[in-house]
């Protein structure tokens, strides 16, 4: 099933022709973490869609999504998976769009398995891999925003404001 979430609307089930970012995850169990990606993209007003599809369980759907993403206007794919996490690599195999991989924290190895499976792509097909779990999910959105912002001055301005806000918070932090 193709599941779209945009602006936290879990009811919509169709692909969004205006999406700039496709957020893909291997299982619904990844959504708790990947919600952070969607929330950050929404915060910056970046149109996106979120789907559950798997390199193992729905290989045809995954390759079809990646293979048609560019023609549908998607500019960046964020792919999250855990364990033997091939999803980002499979996405990258089917598109020349930038693919950002987010390793999910796994029960067995705390995400080290996911990290290595996502990051260790052989030369020729790159996947830009973020940190394990929620930090990676958040940063995947911010990296996607930074890439999009290179040709969108308004988005770049928002990104600078976001950084300034973070800096201000740290500078104003006081300890008891
Ligand atoms: C991966 O297997 C998913 O990305 C998920 O992180 C992991 C476990 O999936 P479930 O068994 O929770 O569906 O494909």
Q: What pLDDT is attached to residue 13?
A: 44
Q: Is 104 in the pocket of ligand 1 (CB under 6 A)?
A: yes
Q: State the distance from the centre of ligand 1 to the C-alpha of 176, rounded, in angstroms.
A: 42
Q: What pLDDT is attached to residue 151?
A: 97
Q: Is 83 in the pocket of ligand 1 (CB under 6 A)?
A: yes
Question: CB of 148 within 8 A of CB of 46?
Answer: yes
Question: CB of 25 within 8 A of CB of 92?
Answer: no
Q: What pLDDT is attached to residue 14?
A: 60
Strands (E), 30-159: 48-52, 76-81, 99-103, 128-129
User: How do the pLDDT tens digits run along the chain, 176 residues long?
Assistant: 334 444 444 333 467 779 999 999 999 999 999 999 999 999 999 999 999 999 999 999 999 999 999 999 999 999 999 999 999 999 999 999 999 999 999 999 999 999 999 999 999 999 999 999 999 999 999 999 999 999 999 999 999 999 999 999 999 999 99
Q: What pLDDT is attached to residue 2?
A: 38
CA 78 to chain CA centroid, Å, is 3
Cα(105)–Cα(136) distance, integer angstroms: 10
Atom of ligand 1 nearest to the CA of 82: 6
Q: What pLDDT is attached to residue 15?
A: 74
Atom of ligand 1 nearest to the CA of 114: 6
Residue 156 CB burial class (10 angstroms; 0-12, 13-18, ≥19)? middle
Q: What pLDDT is attached to residue 35?
A: 98
């Amino acid at each position: 099933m193709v599941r779209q979430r945009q602006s936290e609307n879990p009811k919509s089930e169709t692909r969004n022709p205006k999406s700039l970012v496709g957020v893909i995850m291997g299982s619904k169990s990844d959504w708790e973490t990947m919600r952070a990606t969607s929330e950050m993209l929404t915060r910056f007003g970046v149109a996106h869609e979120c789907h559950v599809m798997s390199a193992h369980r729905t290989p045809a759907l995954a390759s079809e999504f990646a293979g048609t993403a560019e023609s549908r206007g998607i500019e960046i794919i964020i792919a999250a998976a855990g364990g033997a996490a091939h999803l980002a690599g499979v996405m990258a195999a089917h598109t020349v769009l930038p693919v950002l991989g987010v390793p999910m924290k796994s029960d067995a190895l705390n995400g080290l398995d996911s990290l290595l499976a996502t990051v260790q792509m052989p030369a020729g097909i790159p996947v830009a891999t973020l940190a394990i779990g929620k930090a990676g999910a958040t940063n995947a959105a911010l990296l996607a925003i930074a890439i999009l912002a290179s040709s969108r001055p308004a988005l770049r301005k928002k990104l600078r404001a976001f950084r300034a806000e973070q800096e201000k918070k740290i500078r104003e932090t006081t300890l008891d």
